[in-house]
Chains A and B, each alone.
Chain A
Amino acid sequence: MSKLIFEESVKGRKAVSFPKPSQAESAYATIQLPKALAATHPVELPEVSELDVIRHYTRLSCKNFSIDTHFYPLGSCTMKYNPRICEKTAALDGFAGLHPLLPQLRRGEALTQGALELVWDTQRLLCELTGMSGFTLQPMAGAHGELTGLLLIAAYHKDKGNTRTKVLIPDSAHGTNPASAAIAGYEVISVPTDAHGDMDLEAFKALLTPDIAAVMMTCPSTLGLFERNILAIAELAHANDTLLYYDGANMNAMMGYARPGDLGFDVVHLNVHKTLSTPHGGGGPGAGPVGVKESLLPFLPTSIVEKDALGKYWLRYDRPKSIGYIAPFYGNFAVLIRAYTYLLHLGGNGLKEATEYAVLNANYIRAKLKPYYAEAYSRICMHECVFTAELQMKKGVRALDIAKALIDEGFHPPTIYFPMIVHEAMMFEPTETESKETLDRFIEAMIRIAKEAEANPDSFAEKPLTTEISRVDETKAAKAMVLKA
């Protein structure tokens, strides 16, 4: 158990020093805020040395599993290797030191041509990757992209005079899809999944009424399966002037093989922290750029980077039909630098290869685990495979128990209990950057766990045994509500 940084505090101890006012400037130190405005006491920050801080956070870091230290097959999250060149380019002084208001000065765009070119060129590459006509890089995560996309869809319908109040979302969808739709002002209608893991087409037809603004789909779906009815769904939707939204969380399964734009999607978001390998950061920051077809271009958020006839890059603010500002500036720029670096480094051929091996790795795990665990749907999968712990449940061993047992085997657990339509779900996404040896070791561990579940189901309650803490009391956390020190 480690101390909190506050518990390491010693009165009077100091870490770094900051610049101080010069002698001439110090003459103005007597000017103070009036009493009614002034702080009543210093902020109780820790009093520690720089070495204290280094040791404290280095020690904390060692308590994490991460891609750098462990195989991390967390489904739906695409935990692939994060190339270090991307860290280096994102930290270049000419990017890191740039104030976002500079291009808003008169002729200020001349001061930021490199940054604007990067944004413009990333937009162009993402259009090609997805088959869309235009992109905004502003959304700061996948869910933010969803909300932006739905605001674009609302603007499209409003502009056409359509009254649309509902959005269709498959029951397998990620929770952010319905949450985003609700925040955008839509009522959410859930569409069931059929026995083979595709959208139930008959149910979809019945639900596709004239008040449906959009259908939000993940493709491949969150079951790791390619939606085989997609062309029919697109045709039906478009005949109803219903737009098709693409949740790009699973784009790692499709690069170079198919493009959402060609499949009929009108609005897409990408998760660059998944597909384009920008680091997950312990929960973020990511970026969720949004691409649209021609008919939605006028509604894209303020501002858009364009290139003029002389090859100069500039920001267009004057866009009367735009939904307006969804972020203060140009998105999570340093995250986008990493994505751009990755796109150039891999190129069209590398991206396609990444997809191929992501799908190969997932199918390899699926094939090897099939004899020991029940598949949610028995089909070739895309970049991830979904199992259920139903067989193990007969002995009382749950998906959660299997996850904890994997920790003792030295692996990060899969995503569990998602998608919600799969009972005791376990979703494995190995990604393309894992070797056959790693997969084999992982598969052996999973088989050992299956055998242990058969032979000794009671042993799971104690797992994990190898970590500093084990089986956290979540009820106590919610009841006690100790949320700060």
Chain B
Amino acid sequence: MIKATNVVKIFTGRGVPVRAVDGVSAHIGKGEVVVVIGPSGSGKSTFLRCINGLEAFDEGHIFIDGVDLAGRKTDLNALRAEVGMVFQQFNLFPHKTVLENVTLAQRVVRKRSRQDAEIKARTLLKKVGIAEKESEYPSRLSGGQQQRVAIARALAMDPKVMLFDEPTSALDPEMVGEVLDVMKQLAREGMTMCVVTHEMGFAREVADRVLFMDEGKLVEEGTPEHFFTIPTEERTRLFLSQVL
């Protein structure tokens, strides 16, 4: 489904270049839920953003369903439509109602009729449990509700894979559960997911595989059991001892 080989992303901001992603190779199979963890600044977000082409990487290849993101002829826009992304800061469109947030890209990108788009949107809003808020503007919703709309918005494109970048980090603790529940349900339905999170409980319960990144490198990879009981790398152990 997704195959990354030797991906390198270098930021050359002021002064020293930062190797934010430093030779990461990974794969995500169809229907698999992969959780990426690691300390702050380890390049998790950057790696995720490379996967849907929001960030152009400097070396390596990322294949999505066999299509090379780095290929010169690749239509990035078409590819992005197949890859849903949920952001830490929700990034809902504040000038659109909840319903419009979910229908806009369907109509603009997928060229669906208004009616079809609205039917799809209402089904998804019901699924994430906020059907009754469809005509509200995002600013009137709680963080948890906004994030669930954002998930519905991404799902509306019928993506082949969903990427989550710390979807619960900006939420008040009492709202984390409702968002995680939606994600768990998605996982049960067989959605291919790649989730960056600090929610170790979620990783343990839902993940098929866990990737641990540090300083741009993929340090360790394994099943949750392996990961949380007998990690092999020293850095992984150190990190887990800090967060658990």
A and B: real partners? Answer: no
Residues of B whose CB lies within 8 Å of any CB of A are none
Residues of A whose CB lies within 8 Å of any CB of B are none
